[in-house]
Amino acid sequence: MKKKQKKNKNFNQRSFYFEDYLETNKKNKMFKKSNNFQDRIYLLFFFFFSLVLIFSIKITFISLDKKNIRNLERQNTKFSLLRRDIVDRNGVIISRNINTFHAAIDPKLLKDKKKFLIKLRLHFPDLPIDKIQKKLEKNKYFRIKKRIDEVEKEKFWSLGEKAIKFEPFQARMYTHANLFSHIIGQVDYDNYGVSGVEKYFDRDLKNKDLIDKPLKLTLDSNIQFIINKELNNAIETFDATGGGALLIDVNNGDILSLISLPNFDINQRSTISDKKYLNKITKGVYELGSIFKTFTVALALEHKLVEKDTIIQNIPRKIRCSIHEITDMKEHPKNLSVEEILVRSSNVGSAILAKKIGVENFKNFLKKTKITKNPVIELQEVGSPHQIKWNKCKLETISFGHGITTTPLQVTALYAAMSNGGKLIAPSLIKDRKIEKPKNIISSNTSYELRNILRKVVSSKYGTASLADKDGYYVGGKTGTAEGYGNKKNRINNFISIFPSNEPNYALFVMLENPKINKDLIYNYRGTKTKAPYNTSGWNAVYVAGKIIEKIGPILAINNKEFIQQHVVEKFN
């Protein structure tokens, strides 16, 4: 019995090892669970810390990168097309996109429509209230006014209506209003170019890859302002119906200024249909009169038919040509040199030279210069000169600028070639463009002789452009007085000048439409005080050109004799 009891006692007793194992195992399991929980916390903390770090780096990078800021701004802009800036040759902004708004209304949010219409009538009397009332009755969302400025936006806010909504969009702003109206043109409400440079370079201006690079023009805002002001003053002084001016660099074709008056504010986005607002420089087609005599003399010299001192003897007072009679406005000596024919502006003398030149030589010259073809310029607003019908008297009349039409742009470019050594340059509005090698239309020797003659047109006592003889600028040029093509009532007075004539840099064209004699204007004519005896370009267009050259000369850095003389001496030494 004792043995059995002992066995049973030993059987029921747990060993020390077994008991220790269970306790240890329990503790180990609790320790492992605790470690796993902490690992998960650390992992989550590390994950969130990494996200915060990534976003912080990204935000810092965006805030430092201006390009990314612009991209975000573009993404937030609705219902508009971004366009590049347009600047002048000095980087002055002419055209730029700005953020603005349309004012719209949601009729469903209006508590009192009648009260709202009363408010509109009081604050915005120019709005079509009757049309707005009809639209409100339809209870559909619509725009009250497009392209509102900050002042108008504040006025809409002051109405205190939640129903008024402001739709953000990008508008094109022209910083100089009407100063560049005939060049820059306009865009429509969807930012598509509809005229001028805006239309010609529409795709290029919307190129996203070039969005941060402005389109640089050859124009100079300061010179444009001065010429515009002087031309406006001239229209008032001579009671003219319009005018135009063009300044180009004779060596590379850069257009520094292009003015056509009257002009208009391109910020208004109004439709211009009146012909008086057309671009007179590129689209206007005119008979420009005696300025063509320069080309006649150039051809006679180029073909070595005469020299500038060759005397043309027994020039009659008038000659008959088919059914026409060619005469001179003034009585000239019977014997004139070739130089004097241009200086005194003799129609009969020019006709005699034209006969020496011949029809074929004149035709070849016109073909080579393309003066009777459509002008080439970075604008779509260009004129189409009339085709020449070579009848019995056409050669003689063309020699002094009648019976042939062209645009002021083309004739000014041709004068540039007459003075720059004979190279026909292509006028352009785009700065830093690729310039093709120009072709020669006359020799450098003929060009040299011609600009000396043009200088005498201004400096000689027999010249027709004495009022442009401003001290220190060595102005040369030629006057032209003609009737409008197909409209004898439309008078065109013009003057093309080159300066300095001993080494020309610039050609300036000035034109007045239908000017009248100003009986109160006193001229300083060759040292004496006098009034205008005739309504010719020598007494108005030349007078205006002289004032313009005086003002822009300092800007062009040719404002005194010492500068020019030193420059010329340095070049030839």
DSSP per-residue codes, 45-84: HHHHHHHHHHHHHHHHHHHH-HHHHHHHHHHH--S-----
CA dihedral 116, 117, 123, 127 (to 10 degrees): 140
pLDDT the model gives residue 427:
97
> Are the C-beta atoms of residues 432 and 414 closer than 8 Å to each other?
no
55 touches 137 (CB < 8 A): no
For the record, the structure tokens of 179 come out as 């100063």
Collapsing DSSP to helix, strand or coil, 152 comes out as helix
Q: Among the CATH numbers 3.40.710.10, 3.40.50.10190, 2.60.40.420, 3.20.20.140, which is that of 224-264+277-572?
A: 3.40.710.10
Token pair for 291: 């300025």
> Among 520, 507, 519, 514, which Cα is nearest to 537's?
514
Q: Provide the pLDDT for residue 146.
A: 84
Nearest partner of 424 among 443, 402, 445, 441, judged by Cα: 441
Which neighbouring-strand residues pair with 476? 498
Q: Tokens 């056509």: give the residue.
A: 260
Residue-wise pLDDT for 145-195, tens only, equals: 988 888 888 999 888 889 999 988 888 889 998 999 999 999 887 788 999
Q: Please state the domain extents for the chain.
A: 14-63, 76-217, 224-264+277-572
- Residue 212 backbone class (left: φ over 0; alpha: ψ -120 to 50; beta: rest): alpha
pLDDT at 88: 96
Residue 5: per-residue pLDDT: 46
Residue corresponding to tokens 């420009």: 288
Q: How far apart are CA 245 and CA 408, in angstroms?
A: 9
SS (H, E, C) 225-256: HHHHHHHHHHHHHCCCCEEEEEEEECCCCEEE
Residue segments in the chain with a per-residue pLDDT below the cut of 70:
1-39, 58, 61-81, 269-271, 483-488, 558-573
Contact 466, 525 (CB under 8 A): yes
Closest residue by Cα to residue 140 from 103, 105, 102, 101:
105
3-state SS, 436-470, equals CCCEECCCHHHHHHHHHHHHHHHHCCCCCCHHHCC
The conformational region for residue 45 under phi > 0 = left, psi -120 to 50 = alpha, else beta, is: alpha
Q: What is the pLDDT of residue 567?
A: 44
pLDDT for 80 equals 43
In which element (H, E) is residue 325 found? strand 324-327
Query: Do 443 and 422 contact (CB within 8 A), yes or no?
Result: yes
CATH for the 76-217 domain, from 3.90.1310.10, 3.40.50.1950, 3.10.310.30, 3.60.130.10? 3.90.1310.10
Cα–Cα distance between 20 and 16 in angstroms, integer?
A: 6
Rounded CA-CA distance 511/280 in Å is 9
Inter-residue contact 411 to 506 (CB < 8 Å): no
Question: What pLDDT score was predicted for residue 81?
Answer: 56
